[in-house]
């Protein structure tokens, strides 16, 4: 594996000439670089469900392109028929994963584009859907860069940073969210020392975050999830930075399973805990963390997935939630592309979004 190459590859891209969505298969990393060429809605659904593409922003971008390709393929010549095919594809893609709101946000944005342009000839309508999906992807890069700048303002040169899961370039169009300040810090000589939780059971931290950060020349150390308290107690961590899949209106935040425990530890050791959240991940329609649908995944991911032999007795009960919710009281700040938002989140999240999108809140 050429470590530099991983940063040069996009996790999600469109090959419009061949009517294909190109995905970097993240399930094979760090051992193999394989690009998938997906042409059907079912293939895109499978890639999202199996985490070949993963991370809230990347899932949204993949779904938007998947929906565009389905629409492009339609041979309907009447808007009504075209619309019902579009809606069926949208519904199918929306059923791939439940927790990251970016998936639904991106699909709804494509649907709004369809309605806005419904008077256009279908060929032009299809072009406008392509433009919308391109915009979703391009905006994500700008958003992440802005998050990186705001998050960097919370850090000091030489800081030790703990991160959980992968909220990196692979999970987005570029830069990542929680990793964006690490990349910017690297360019500016901050010499951060990053600790990456391995992130059981699917090992996004071990397989993806360490790969990305080491490719960028960042000092990164892999730890098992159960070592976080030790590195904190050793005084090696000055900040925790994580991504998120959905931020509720009161600031409760769903992210990869294990994040809530890290937040509680950080609170115990008086270490600031920062959530890096692109605004599409903030769901003001979701009142609290209790209202977030947490994905449950296959038991085999816990008992067998990475092992040559099963590591649990056959038939044992296994509980495998993919995400957990961090209580807003453990979150020091939520870093968005619009700035650093601090408690009380019930007010500050709504105020921030109302200021930047006056009509949508
Ligand atoms: O199950 P995953 O790998 O899709 O979970 C990803 C995470 O929890 C990320 O932290 C989150 O989506 C933010 S990515 C910028």
Percent of the chain residues topping a pLDDT of 70: 98
Catalytic residue among 140, 197, 225, 245: 245
Distance 169 CA to ligand 1 centre (A): 11
**CA-wise closest residue to 173 among 11, 25, 49:** 11
State the pTM of this model. 0.97
**Tell me: the pLDDT tens digits for 14-34?**
999 999 999 999 999 999 999
Answer whether 254's CB lies under 8 Å from 292's CB: yes
> What is the fold of 3-144?
1.20.120
**Tell me: the pLDDT tens digits for 264-294?**
999 999 999 999 999 999 999 999 999 999 9
> Which CATH superfamily includes the segment(s) 155-356?
Translation initiation factor eif-2b; domain 2 (3.40.50.10470)
d(CA 114, CA 132): 10
How large is the average pLDDT for residues 149-158?
98
Distance 17 CA to ligand 1 centre (A): 30
- Helix ranges (H only) for 234-361 are 259-268, 300-303, 345-356
- Stated as kind and residue range, the H or E segment containing 35 is strand 35-38
For all residues of the chain together, what is the average pLDDT? 97
Say yes or no to pLDDT of 361 above 60: no
d(CA 160, CA 62): 33
How large is the average pLDDT for residues 204-213?
98
- Location of each CATH 1.20.120.420 domain in the chain: 3-144
Q: Give yes or no for residue 103 CB within 6 A of ligand 1.
A: no
The pLDDT score that the predictor gives to residue 13 is 97
- Location of each CATH 3.40.50.10470 domain in the chain: 155-356
Task: Classify the phi-psi angles of 39: left when phi > 0, otherwise alpha if psi is within -120 to 50, otherwise beta.
Answer: alpha
């Amino acid at each position: 594996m050429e470590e530099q190459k991983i940063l040069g590859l996009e996790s999600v891209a469109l090959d419009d000439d061949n009517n294909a969505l190109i995905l970097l298969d993240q399930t094979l990393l760090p051992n193999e670089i394989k690009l998938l060429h997906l042409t059907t809605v079912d293939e895109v659904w499978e890639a999202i469900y199996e985490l070949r593409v993963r991370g809230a922003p990347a899932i949204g971008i993949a779904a938007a392109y998947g929906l565009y390709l389905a629409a492009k393929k339609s041979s309907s010549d009447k808007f009504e028929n075209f619309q019902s095919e579009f809606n069926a594809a949208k519904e199918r893609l929306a059923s791939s994963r439940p927790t990251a709101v970016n998936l639904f946000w991106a699909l709804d944005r494509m649907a709004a584009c369809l309605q806005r342009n419904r008077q256009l000839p279908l060929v032009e309508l299809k072009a406008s859907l392509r433009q919308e999906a391109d915009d979703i992807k391009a905006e994500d890069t700008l958003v992440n860069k802005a998050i990186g700048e705001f998050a960097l303002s919370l850090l000091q040169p030489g800081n030790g940073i703990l991160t959980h899961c992968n909220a990196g370039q692979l999970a987005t169009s570029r830069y990542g969210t929680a990793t964006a300040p690490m990349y910017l810090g690297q360019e500016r000589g901050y010499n951060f020392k990053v600790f990456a939780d391995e992130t059981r059971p699917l090992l996004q931290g071990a397989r993806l975050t360490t790969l990305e950060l080491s490719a960028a020349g960042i000092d990164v150390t892999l730890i098992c999830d159960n070592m976080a308290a030790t590195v904190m107690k050793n005084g090696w961590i000055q900040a925790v930075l994580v991504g998120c899949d959905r931020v509720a209106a009161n600031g409760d935040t769903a992210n990869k399973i294990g994040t809530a425990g890290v937040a509680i530890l950080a609170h115990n050791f008086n270490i600031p805990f920062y959530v890096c959240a692109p605004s599409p991940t903030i769901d003001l329609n979701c009142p609290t963390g209790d209202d977030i649908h947490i994905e449950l995944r296959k038991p085999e991911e816990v008992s067998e997935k990475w092992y040559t032999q099963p590591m649990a007795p056959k038939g044992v009960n296994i509980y495998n939630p993919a995400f957990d919710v961090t209580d807003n009281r453990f979150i020091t700040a939520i870093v968005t592309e619009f700035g650093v938002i601090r408690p009380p989140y019930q007010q500050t999240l709504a105020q921030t979004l109302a200021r930047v999108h006056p009509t949508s809140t």
